[in-house]
């Protein structure tokens, strides 16, 4: 059965305010990276993240790489990484020459299992990367205690968690450093882009230098009375966000409370409509943290073929995809340890449409289509 109606898996919320912000940047003549609009966005985003500093970056992967560089990860080191995550997390470790050691995750919310991480600490371990799975924060009090016990640093992969909280504290303020994504499917977006945030001035100053080829950005030299010719003493990167993107992000930050409210309304709507539906388990929300609902992940129960469900929903015009990746099974890493919980979630979780523009009719339609798909014999396994 096919449907003439389409409900997108993800969709940005943008409009005239973003267009007007772009007009202002175009009129300013400064479109390139790390300019005055980026500076303004960084100040505003630091407030949202609850940190002293923010650095606008080209994407979350570059923010993670900068974090690992300034934290000191390198060849011969091991970094414990939450296994259930988009591979940008593990890739960033590989880029430094260090080795990612993947830790299994909690079966309920899919974030790093603290006991699993503790069992992986060796004399080569230098740090831990926790991932806020689709935005819900990991167990940062316990992770911080583990890091302190062994003299490790703690990095928050907050790619999906802008606006989330953990025990009243905002995502971004929960570790030594944190990295965010502003990809098109995230809660706030400029299409691409990211940010690195933290309180440590020395770490953030070093990250800022590395993110602009190893020198201070040009905006810092504006208005000087003498010609400033920078000197390159380190090989940095071009990890800057453009002022065009920063203009969009400043508007998106102003929208954030309403976007979060709409996503929460959609998540609650799914919970009501899908309660008791046979064949799936709904996402778990813990009481001591708030969820920004970057994605809405459900889990196929035993006897249900996740892949067939996803393809059947797509045929009916309902956007759907896998949850995310079990990193240790990806060939690029050559990992030898098993993470059975993450592997199971990788096989069984799938995403339903989630964005701030969903209507009640959309939620009704998605729920109806999912119930019909789950009732069909074609999505049942032979076991």
Q: pLDDT tens for residues 117-135?
A: 999 999 999 999 999 999 9
Give the pLDDT confidence of 10-48 residue by residue, as tens digits. 999 999 999 999 999 999 999 998 899 999 999 999 999
- Residue 226: what pLDDT? 85
Flag the least confident range among 136-140, 142-146, 226-230.
226-230
Examine the pLDDT at 255 and tell me if it is beyond 60: yes
DSSP 84: B
How many CA within 13 A on the CB side of residue 349? 26
Write out the H or E segment, with its range, that includes residue 314.
helix 306-315
**Catalytic one of 43, 149, 186, 209:** 186
Is 186 one of the catalytic residues? yes
- Residue 229: what pLDDT? 87
Domains of the chain in sequence order = 16-253 (3.40.640.10), 256-379 (3.90.1150.10)
As a whole number of angstroms, the distance between CA 87 and CA 366 comes to 29
At 230, is the pLDDT very low, low, confident or very high (cuts 50, 70, 90)?
A: confident
Examine the pLDDT at 200 and tell me if it is beyond 90: yes
Average pLDDT over all residues of the chain: 96
Q: Which CA distances in Å does 173 have to 49, 188, 209?
A: 6, 18, 22
CB 64 within 8 A of CB 211: no
Q: Which CA distances in Å does 328 have to 162, 179, 331, 333?
A: 26, 21, 8, 7
171: nearest Cα among 182, 183, 158: 158
At 62, is the pLDDT very low, low, confident or very high (cuts 50, 70, 90)?
A: very high
- Residue 382: what pLDDT? 66
Examine the pLDDT at 3 and tell me if it is beyond 70: no
Give the pLDDT confidence of 91-109 residue by residue, as tens digits. 999 999 999 999 999 999 9
At 2, is the pLDDT very low, low, confident or very high (cuts 50, 70, 90)?
A: low
As a whole number of angstroms, the distance between CA 366 and CA 360 comes to 10
As a whole number of angstroms, the distance between CA 7 and CA 121 comes to 44
CB 105 within 8 A of CB 342: yes
Write out the H or E segment, with its range, that includes residue 66.
helix 60-71
What are the residues whose beta carbons fall under 8 Å from the beta carbon of 376, sequence distance 6 or more? 312
CA angle 367/165/251 to nearest 5° reads 80
């Amino acid at each position: 059965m096919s449907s003439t109606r389409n409900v997108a898996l993800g969709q940005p919320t943008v409009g005239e305010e973003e267009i007007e912000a772009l007009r202002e940047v175009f009129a300013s003549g400064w479109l390139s990276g790390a300019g005055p609009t980026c500076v303004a966005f960084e100040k505003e985003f630091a407030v949202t993240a609850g940190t002293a500093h923010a650095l606008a970056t080209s994407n979350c992967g570059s923010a993670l790489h900068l974090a690992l560089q300034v934290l000191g990860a390198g060849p011969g080191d091991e970094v414990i990484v939450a296994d259930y995550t988009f591979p940008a997390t593990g890739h960033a470790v590989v880029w430094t020459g260090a080795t990612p050691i993947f830790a299994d995750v909690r079966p309920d919310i899919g974030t790093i299992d603290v006991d699993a991480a503790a069992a992986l600490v060796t004399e080569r371990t230098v740090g831990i990367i926790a991932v806020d799975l689709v935005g819900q924060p990991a167990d940062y009090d316990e992770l911080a205690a583990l890091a302190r016990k062994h003299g490790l640093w703690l990095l928050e992969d907050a790619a999906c968690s802008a606006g989330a909280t953990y025990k009243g504290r905002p995502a971004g303020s929960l570790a030594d450093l944190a990295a965010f994504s502003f990809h098109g499917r995230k809660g706030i977006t400029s299409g691409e882009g990211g940010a690195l945030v933290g309180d440590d001035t020395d770490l953030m100053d070093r990250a800022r230098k590395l993110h602009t080829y190893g020198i201070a950005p040009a905006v810092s030299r504006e208005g000087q009375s003498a010609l400033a010719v920078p000197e390159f003493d380190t090989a940095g990167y071009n990890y800057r966000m453009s002022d065009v993107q920063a203009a969009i992000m400043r508007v998106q930050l102003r929208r954030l409370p309403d976007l979060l409210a709409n996503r929460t309304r959609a998540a609650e709507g799914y919970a009501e409509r899908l309660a008791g539906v046979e064949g799936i388990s709904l996402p778990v929300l813990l009481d001591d943290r708030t969820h920004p609902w970057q994605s809405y992940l459900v889990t196929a129960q035993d006897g249900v073929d996740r892949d067939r469900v996803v393809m059947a929903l797509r045929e009916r015009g309902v956007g759907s995809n896998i949850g995310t990746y079990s990193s240790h099974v990806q060939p690029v890493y050559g990992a030898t340890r098993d993470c059975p919980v993450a592997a199971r979630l990788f096989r069984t979780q799938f995403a339903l449409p989630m964005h701030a523009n969903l209507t009640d009719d959309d939620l009704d339609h998605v729920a109806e289509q999912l119930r019909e798909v789950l009732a069909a014999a074609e999505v049942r396994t032979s076991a």
